Structure 1
Amino acid sequence: MNDWTILPRLRRDILGEGITYNAQEGSLYWVDILGQRVNKYDLATNAYHEWGMPDLIGWIIPRAAGGFLAGLRSGFHRLELDGLARVSAVPSPVIPNGHRLNDASTDHLGRIWAGSMGMAEDGHSGALFRLDPDGQWQEVDAPYRIANGPAHSLDGRLLYHADSARGLVYQMSVHDDGSLGPRAVHITFPSEWGSPDGMTIDAEDGLWIAHWGAGCVSRFDPDGRRERVIRLPASQVTRPCFAGERFDRLFVTSASVGVDEPLAGAVFEVAPGVRGVPQKPFAG
């Protein structure tokens, strides 16, 4: 018997990422970065819907005011998905040619933390940005080759963020004004673990990380010790997300780009054995 199931849909993502749970709707949202698509799946009805995007899209995050904030290749945008997708730019960092926004999450105050990367993945020219509810943004850490994550401790005092190309997960303290303390290496991925990709926190402050190239998602305790591994039938898994009424269901996106695997690009569900916590909507 498998320890996983897949969401029932015909399509597979080229580069599935940015999965988030809208508890008010009971729906999962995630993106296909290279497929330029936003996906929605209703957990109660199994209804699936998708929207094409005008550009590469790294993530979407629900807004407290309604709709979403999205990270397109060119920067931050408001996104409305009422029937047709409507996109409008908001003030954001200038993302250089050949770069894109990659992954993001909110903290306990509803601020967005988002990383960028070079699309050729051959230089350390990516950065980490913070977007505040008042619309002001700031570059808070650099450089990165492939910025991934991020996630936050339950009390909001620690930020976890990865550079996938280096195989490192960093831990940084978060100050009251949103600035960061120095990077400290929290977890080092040996080659057999693949590369650290997207991540999330559970209700016990455990850090769940998707392993790109190693076909699994792992839980690390607050000291950085790997204490649980869930294997999946796709090598390129990208981001975990807790969902459901009790936040006891874990969904994991994956990618099919560059591999010939029957289930690559599927969204998997596994039983994590622990509950997650709701992700704060963007407060802006």
Structure 2
Amino acid sequence: MDPVRIIARDRADVLGEGLFWSVRDGALLWTDILGRRINRLSPTTGQVESWETPDVVGWIVGTQDGGFLAGIGRSIARVSFDPFACETLAEIPDQPAGNRVNDAAADPQGRLWLGTMPFSCDVPTGAFHRLANGTVTRADATPYTIPNGPAISPDGRFLLHTDSAMGVIFRYALNDGVLGPREPFITFVDGWGSPDGMTFDAEGHLWVACWGASCVTRFAPDGIPVRRIALPASQISNCVFGGPDLDRMYVTSAADGVEEEHAGALFEIDPGCRGLAPFLYQD
């Protein structure tokens, strides 16, 4: 297999994001935020399906009861397929009309962590939230401009999150659903792009989609970069492990504002390591 494979399909994503590997279904799901679509890839057949959503859609995450949640507009919805349907579960409180959902991930205890941000991407009106027992609360008092990539360490002790506008990945101790102090963990320098979506591998290394730098980068547990995989698109937005052995990596990109040949493509790469099954939301 080529080091980088472009998944064949009939459309590009305006803003690809929100990747989730469904172990149960053996399928990859992801969103096109600005294109208002949820996509599903069946790797065994190569079939890609797509469903239109009623508003912008930031992410999709599996639930322990076998269903899915998605961030749509300024709310969280239950989503089902075949046929496609979505039903609002909870509204995200205190969100101005110019805000939208962006990125999310579940933790080992079944809580969901999610960010909101302004459509304009230039003012700190966003926030970081937690969904637990069907209720959304603000998890961090710090305002966000472009919250991205909540990722939970394999042992469940730490949550990593970034404000892409700041170029810093922060780390929080995760104590029974309460975040500890926000501590800078990785500060991006010139040439690295901006930190976007992220995920851990089974060895505890962090993989980060590097927006503006045409790559994903692997960071060691001490935050030192140890590997870079180049991709033929500049706006790389998210990454996740998938496949039956969790040894493939899928990467989203965005076509919004650029005219590159492969902008908005979904990529498959060989990361040279394995990931872990994703955590699932539990009511």
What TM-score do the two structures reach when normalised by structure 1? Answer: 0.96
- Structure 2 gaps, min length 5: none
Q: Distance in 2 between matches of 1:24 and 1:45?
A: 16
CA distance in 1, matches of 2:10, 2:30: 16
Residue 109 of structure 1: how far off its partner (Å): 1.5
**Runs ≥4 residues deviating over 4 A:** none
Aligned-partner Cα distance in 1 for 2:122–2:160: 23
Contact 1:195 1:211 survives alignment (8 Å): yes
SS at match of 1:109: coil
Q: What corresponds to 1:207 in structure 2?
A: 206
Aligned to 1:109: 109
Percent sequence identity over aligned pairs: 46
Q: d(CA) in 1 for partners of 2:7 and 2:105?
A: 23
Residue in 2 that maps onto 1:278? 277
> Counterparts of 1:82 and 1:61 in 2: how far apart (Å)?
17
Deviations 1:230-255 (A, max 9, x none): 00000001110100111000010000
How far 1:140 sits from its partner (Å)?
A: 0.7
CA distance in 2, matches of 1:74, 1:162: 20
Partner Cα separation in structure 2 for residue 34 and residue 42 of structure 1: 23
> Aligned with 2:100: secondary structure?
strand
Partner residue, 2:129: 129
Name the SS of the counterpart of 2:45 in structure 1. coil
RMSD: 1.2
Question: 1:219·1:226 contact (CA, 8 Å) conserved in 2?
Answer: yes
SS at match of 2:191: helix
Partner of 1:18: 18
Q: Is the 8 A contact 2:193 2:211 kept in 1?
A: yes
| TM-score of the pair, normalised by structure 2 | 0.97
Tell me what 1:185 maps to.
184
Deviation string, structure 1 residues 76-128 (Cα, Å, up to 9, x no partner)? 11111222x21211123223200001000111122111011111112112111
What is the alpha-carbon distance in structure 2 between the residues aligned to residue 92 and residue 98 of structure 1? 15
2:79 aligns with 79
Unmatched segments (≥5 aa) in structure 1: none
Deviations 1:146-171 (A, max 9, x none): 00011011111101000000101001
Q: Does 1:49 align with 2:88?
A: no
Question: What amino acid is the match of 1:189?
Answer: F
Paired residue type of 2:268: E
Contact 2:108–2:280, Cα closer than 8 Å, also in 1: no
Question: How far apart, in 1, do the equivalents of 2:90 and 2:53 lie?
Answer: 19
Contact 1:104–1:150, Cα closer than 8 Å, also in 2: yes
Take 1:207 and 1:69, find their aligned partners in 2: how far apart are those partners?
Answer: 24
Amino acid at match of 1:174: L
Kindly indicate which of the two structures has a greater share of residues assigned to strand: 2
Asked if residue 226 in structure 1 is aligned to residue 243 in structure 2, the reply is: no
SS at match of 1:102: strand
The residue that corresponds to 2:33 in the other structure is: 33
**How far apart are 1:2 and its partner, in Å?**
5.0
Equivalent residues of 1:31, 1:38 under 8 A apart:
yes
User: After superposition, where does 1:128-277 map in structure 2 within 5 Å?
Assistant: 128-132=128-132, 134-141=133-140, 142-176=142-176, 178-277=177-276
CA contact (8 A) 1:242 1:249 kept: yes
Is the Cα contact below 8 Å between 1:30 and 1:38 reproduced in 2?
yes
The equivalent residue for 1:92 is 91
Structure 2: how far apart are the matches of 1:106 and 1:74? 18
Distance 2:213 2:38 in 1: 25
Matched length: 281
Following the alignment from structure 2 to structure 1, what is the Cα–Cα distance between the partners of residues 192 and 150? 19
Asked whether the 8 Å contact 2:57–2:70 carries over to 1, the reply is yes
